[in-house]
Amino acid sequence: MIIIKWIKESFWRHLVAWAVCFFALFPLYMIVLTSFKKTTSLQVNSFLPTGFSWANFNSLLNNPNIPYFRWMYNSVVIATIVSVVSVFIGAASAFAFSRLRFRGKKTGIQALLLIQMFPSVLALSAVYVIMDRVHTFAPAIGLGTQGGLILVYLGGAMGVNIWLLKGFVDSIPLELDEAARVDGASPMQIYWRIFLPLASPVLAVVTLLSFIGTFNEYILASLFLSDINSRTIAVGLQSFISGEFESNWGPFAAGSILTSVPIVVVFLSLQRYIISGLTAGSVKG
């Protein structure tokens, strides 16, 4: 009877959980399986590993026509700059919207929320035209440059980061600010000496999310970066299956695995902040 009751009440939950896990892990398994095959085809005769070869990794890393390490370097640099600068500006803006009084405060925060309701892809044509005009008088940050791409990324990340960080700032007791003012602290001193130390967990989480999102972004990067040496890793790997380097799924899979290394390193570096940072700002008190 106990077994029958378990089957009726809990078995379907376990079945659904295993199905969801299989659905999520199967693409990753296929990528790993394809990367260590001897051929570059995506066709799989067996879902079990039947052979082991480093041929795809060798063709990816040792081909002089494929600047893989340059692509990786570009992605790491762009993602690092965007994550650090966006979090720095977002933290200062969140502190201002949460703690300071100024004209247009309510309108500004509502405008940020309204902007986030529209998909960013709607602005692609406008961004393209604007950056094309910028290129005429500032070629270093215009269309087709990594500097211009960084500016676009920073503009798109501001609204989300400000709202995430503002939720955490609102959870910091006002008594801390009042005590600091009694001791003669200025708003800038409160920001540097009270807010930033307390906000380190959520800042680490926002930095991680910004880094991963920028590192994996493809649409804007493909629109901005046409030169083969200036591409990010996402745009560079896409060329393996879009015709430029033919449909080489083996090197594409190998490159995808190696691409995960910087993200894993950043994740492990910020691991001790992530659990506390993910829940920060969810409860005000």
- Residue 135 sits in the same domain as residue 96: yes
- Residue 53 sits in the same domain as residue 79: no
- Residue 23 sits in the same domain as residue 75: no
Q: Report pTM.
A: 0.82
Is the residue at 285 inside a domain?
no
- Residue 182 sits in the same domain as residue 266: yes
Q: What is the CA radius of gyration of the chain?
A: 24
Q: Find all residues with CB under 8 Å of 138, minimum gap 6, and list them.
A: none
- Residue 30 sits in the same domain as residue 137: no
- Which range, of 38-47, 125-134, 143-152, averages the lowest pLDDT? 38-47
- Residue 96 sits in the same domain as residue 237: yes
- Residue 223 sits in the same domain as residue 144: yes
Residue 153 reports pLDDT greater than 60: yes
Residues counted in the chain:
285
Closest by Cα among 156, 162, 158 to 221: 156
Q: What is the mean pLDDT of residues 266-275?
A: 75
Residue 239 reports pLDDT greater than 70: yes
Number of domains forming the structure of the chain: 2
- Residue 197 sits in the same domain as residue 80: yes
- Residue 37 sits in the same domain as residue 159: no
| Residue bearing the bigger pLDDT, 245 or 39 | 39
pLDDT digits 0-9 by tens, 168-208: 888 888 888 888 888 888 888 888 888 888 888 888 888 88
Is the residue at 34 inside a domain?
yes
Question: What's the CA dihedral at 161, 163, 167, 173 to 10 degrees?
Answer: 90
pLDDT at 177: 81
pLDDT at 284: 45
Is the residue at 284 inside a domain?
no
pLDDT at 285: 44
pLDDT at 95: 85
From 36, 60, 84, give the residue that closes a domain: 60
DSSP 8-class letter at 84: H
Instruction: List the domain range (segments joined by +) for residue 130.
Output: 65-279
| Residue bearing the bigger pLDDT, 245 or 136 | 136
Residue 92 in contact with residue 161, Cβ under 8 Å?
Answer: no
pLDDT digits 0-9 by tens, 45-91: 666 666 777 888 888 888 888 888 999 999 999 999 999 998 888 88
CATH of the domain at 171: 1.10.3720.10
pLDDT at 74: 92
- Residue 49 sits in the same domain as residue 143: no
From 60, 77, 108, give the residue that closes a domain: 60
- Residue 101 sits in the same domain as residue 219: yes
Closest by Cα among 166, 164, 253, 283 to 213: 164
- Residue 94 sits in the same domain as residue 219: yes
